[in-house]
Amino acid sequence: MTPPVPRGRIIAIASGKGGVGKTWFAVTLAQALAEAGQRVLLVDGDLGLANVDVQLGLNPPHGLAQVLVGHMPLEDAVTQVGGFSVLAGSSGSGALLGADPAVLAGLLQAGAEARDALVLDCGAGLDAAPRRLAAAADILLVLATDEPTSLTDAYAAMKLAWRDVPGLDLRLVVNRAADARAGARTHGALASAVRNFLKRELPLAGIVRNDAKVPDAIRHQTALLTRHPASAAGQDVARIARAL
């Protein structure tokens, strides 16, 4: 038997609700890991509205869909940006919906080979596509803000993820927290729901403070740590990256 190829961790980002900063967080986490010296592949698995390329100001000719349907090898579809690689998404292509989970998992594992980390933006929603992506993760980071809609959707995403993979390493990231205390309160509320209703503990991966530099970087289609390396949100994501 050949020993398994050593590969980097697959770190998936999910949120349930859209609009809580999932794509931004995935991009920034990929950059933070790369700046810490890791070899990183960022995969945009957001089937509904793939936006990683837009946030990074890229115009990639190929992406996940071409790889999934077998038109090209993964490494040919990857685009280099700054210090990391990007496999762009394909909005509404449908390729991901019908993808065989085994093929998808194999593709992600191949992408993580010869790298230290694969950061995967799972996309919003609770349908089969984001669930399958989350199920392929070594670590699932669920992103939530303090809004009630985000809390209930993050809870639903966690419940589904644990149903699909009971032993999943799932951690919470609180995004857009007014301050550290507010972030801890948001974690406390979700951890309480998880403890009471799901009989599990909810580890906190970290809190990202609300920061006007984030929308500024997104508007300029530039990664946050490039445009505002000293920003509070950037430093928070870098801290999360170090602790992973």
Point out which residues bind another protein (CB under 8 A).
61, 70-71, 98-101, 128, 131-132, 135, 148, 151-152, 155-156, 159-160, 163-164, 185-186, 188-190, 192-193, 196-197
CA 35 to chain CA centroid, nearest Å: 17
Cα–Cα distance between 215 and 211 in angstroms, integer? 8
For residue 17, the minimal CB distance to another protein (Å) is 12
Using alpha carbons, select from 4, 11, 223, 244 the residue that is nearest to residue 117.
Answer: 11
Of 185 and 239, nearer to another protein (C-beta) is: 185
Of 5 and 100, nearer to another protein (C-beta) is: 100
For residue 141, the minimal CB distance to another protein (Å) is 20
Number of Cβ within a 10 Å radius of residue 157: 26
Cα–Cα distance between 186 and 204 in angstroms, integer? 10
CA 200 to chain CA centroid, nearest Å: 22
Of 181 and 242, nearer to another protein (C-beta) is: 181
For residue 150, the minimal CB distance to another protein (Å) is 10
For residue 26, the minimal CB distance to another protein (Å) is 22
